[in-house]
Amino acid sequence: MTTQTPLSFADLALSSPVMDALKRIGYEQPSPIQAEAIPHLLNGFDLIGTAQTGTGKTAAFALPLLSTIDLTATQPQVLVLAPTRELAIQVAEAFKTYASAMKGFNVLPIYGGQGMDTQLRQLKRGVHVVVGTPGRVMDHLRRNTLKLDKLKTIVLDEGDEMLRMGFIDDVEWILEQTPKQRQVALFSATMPAPIRRVADKYLKQPKIVKIVSKTSTVETIEQRFWMVSGLHKLDALTRILEVEDFDGIIMFVRTKALTVELAEKLEARGYSASAINGDMTQTLRERTIEQLKKGRIDILVATDVAARGIDVARISHVINYDIPYDTEAYVHRIGRTGRAGRTGKAILFVAPRERRLLRAIESATRQPITPMELPTRQQVNEKRSAQFKDTISAALERNDLEFFQQLIQSYVEEHAVDPMQLASALAYLAQKDKPLLLDEVSKKSGSKESRSRKHDERDERPVRDSKTKSFRPEKDSLPKSKRGNPKVPMENYRIAVGRNHNATPGDIVGAIANEADVEPKNIGHIELKDDHSFIELPIGMPKIVYDSLKKVRVRNQPLQIEKTDHVAKPALTSAKPAKGKKTYTKKPKKNKKNTAS
């Protein structure tokens, strides 16, 4: 009996630029709905896709439609209808990510609540893909500002949700405005009668793709999730690892590149970690798994493809550092623990915008996933102290301490020192490179856990030198008059992110603080413009940090940071900003948003 080789994206006849983007972001293997839907859409067929949220359906239509885009055309060739503003933004960002190697490609999300002027300007410039909510799409069609003469494909995303929200008549009206010769793709988790009627009326001999969820989870696995907020994911992960009692861990990420990056960062923080992904040879992959089995490494950072078939008895935890788009992938992931009747633990990181994926996983598995709180400063301190005591106990059981006993006795007699003080000094020497207590936040900035939690992780991390991607002005390097004062000397920069990209000052602060390790209090004024912004940053930014910030993305838009003579204007003092003069000052105490999306 021969085993069928799993389908890869390279087998799907996608365009070269799309394949380049997939290779860059590290996607390895299509999900079931992608594998079935992409060939039909590439061949121009209408399609009905029945699949739950979280099965990867956005890529199922975005990848093939991008492969047939004519970049020389200036009118929309693809229109995607989505039931909510959030989904419209998410789908538009996905298109932009998959089209990253397509020079000149433009996608525009349009939805209510956003200024019409901005949308009109971008439509006038020309876009290839429009992703919108039905109401706002209808507004533009009635104004004749959205022209569908060149439309090739219309996608109805989450059809049953649009029905539930009362948009089905609007959807039909929009379909009536589209050219007669166009492709229609309908995706819906269920197929109620009104949706079926729309399909029968507007789709021509559609291909049917139906992905039936067969997911079920093991009762012996304790499932928890952390809603990403305030802290960088890596800092939160480090804190969780400090407190969790674990033996072996498999940590799942979405891309091959991130397996290596995360494993290296965990190694730098003192954990024994290794990456495993589809780029590794079978020999190296087997050797790495063998090291996990024998306890030579404790954490395996893996992609779904690379982790297939791993059965290691000592895996006590599965951590989903990136939430999977496919609900069945989630079940396969956590199935690496809790095997053969053993208990296991699964932890899932969920960004606020990924709540829908969390609900889809709970629905598919028919089990609730319990929210978890990050360990507090006190819990981390207690855990470190307990581990240190265990280390002392293990040392006391050794039989080769006679030399050290004589050495200590000699020191006590020579210096007349209290044995307790001497033991304390030795304990300090043993742990000075990894303090047992987290640094306390100064009283001026507030000492309550709820206030200081977002600062804790910066206190834990060692200060890196200028050769690393770190830009953290230490107060000891400043004049005494400036120590403890957030108003450090500033330089002015221009960044290629603004209101048109739906960016907020919080997004910008979070991205720069996380990438360059700049404390938020050391970031000055931020002045938002339509397609760019101005920002103040401390003088003396190392070149490696400056180069890395150029590549940082906010709302999927590269910062492209550069120096400027323009001084970012401070926030207006009046309660209501003057019309047309809206500027912002960064507020240090607001939580930073995670920008890894």
The model's pLDDT over 35-80, given as tens digits with 9 standing for 90+, comes to 999 999 999 999 999 876 666 788 999 999 999 999 999 899 999 9
Confidence of residue 231 (pLDDT cuts 50, 70, 90): low
DSSP string, 221-289: EEEEEEE--SS-HHHHHHHHHHHS--SEEEEE-SSHHHHHHHHHHHHHTT--EEEE-TTS-HHHHHHHH
- Domains for the chain: give ranges and CATH numbers: 9-210 (3.40.50.300), 221-371 (3.40.50.300), 381-387+402-452 (no CATH), 463-585 (3.30.70.330)
Please give the residue that has the higher pLDDT: either 492 or 588: 492
DSSP letter (8 states) at residue 569: P
User: Residue 557 has what pLDDT?
Assistant: 81
User: Residue 387 has what pLDDT?
Assistant: 72
Of 434, 541, 532, 522, nearest to 483 by C-alpha is 522
User: Residue 301 has what pLDDT?
Assistant: 94
CB-CB contact of 445 with 453 (8 Å): no
User: Residue 108 has what pLDDT?
Assistant: 95
Q: Mean pLDDT, to the nearest integer, of 292-303?
A: 92
User: Residue 576 has what pLDDT?
Assistant: 36
Confidence of residue 472 (pLDDT cuts 50, 70, 90): very low
User: Residue 463 has what pLDDT?
Assistant: 32
User: Residue 40 has what pLDDT?
Assistant: 96
CA distance 419 to 412: 7
Beta bridge partners of 317: 249, 345
Query: Between the CA of residue 318 and those of 496, 523, 549, what are the distances in Å?
Result: 38, 37, 32
Q: Mean pLDDT, to the nearest integer, of 170-198?
A: 93
pLDDT, tens only, 304-340: 877 766 778 889 999 999 998 777 788 888 888 876 5
Phi-psi region of 113 (alpha: psi -120 to 50; beta: other; left: phi over 0): left
Confidence of residue 524 (pLDDT cuts 50, 70, 90): confident
User: Residue 199 has what pLDDT?
Assistant: 94
Beta bridge partners of 374: none
Query: Between the CA of residue 108 and those of 122, 328, 357, 499, 512, what are the distances in Å?
Result: 7, 31, 23, 14, 26
Q: Mean pLDDT, to the nearest integer, of 450-457?
A: 36
Determine the 3-state secondary structure of 510 from DSSP. Answer: helix
Q: Mean pLDDT, to the nearest integer, of 199-220?
A: 81
pLDDT, tens only, 93-128: 999 999 999 999 999 999 987 778 889 999 999 999
CA distance 124 to 126: 5
Q: Mean pLDDT, to the nearest integer, of 231-257?
A: 88
* pTM: predicted TM-score of the whole model, two decimal places: 0.50
CB-CB contact of 470 with 458 (8 Å): no
Q: Which two tokens stand for residue 108?
A: 């525009």
CB-CB contact of 514 with 592 (8 Å): yes
E strands, 51-102, are 78-81
Strands 557-558 and 553-554, sheet pairing: antiparallel
Please give the residue that has the higher pLDDT: either 464 or 393: 393
CA distance 75 to 367: 46
User: Residue 488 has what pLDDT?
Assistant: 67
Average pLDDT for the chain: 79
DSSP string, 295-334: TS-SEEEE-TTTTTT---TTEEEEEESS--SSHHHHHHHH
Least confident of 16-30, 57-71, 176-190, 211-225: 211-225
pLDDT, tens only, 347-362: 999 988 888 889 888 8
Of 212, 160, 157, nearest to 190 by C-alpha is 160
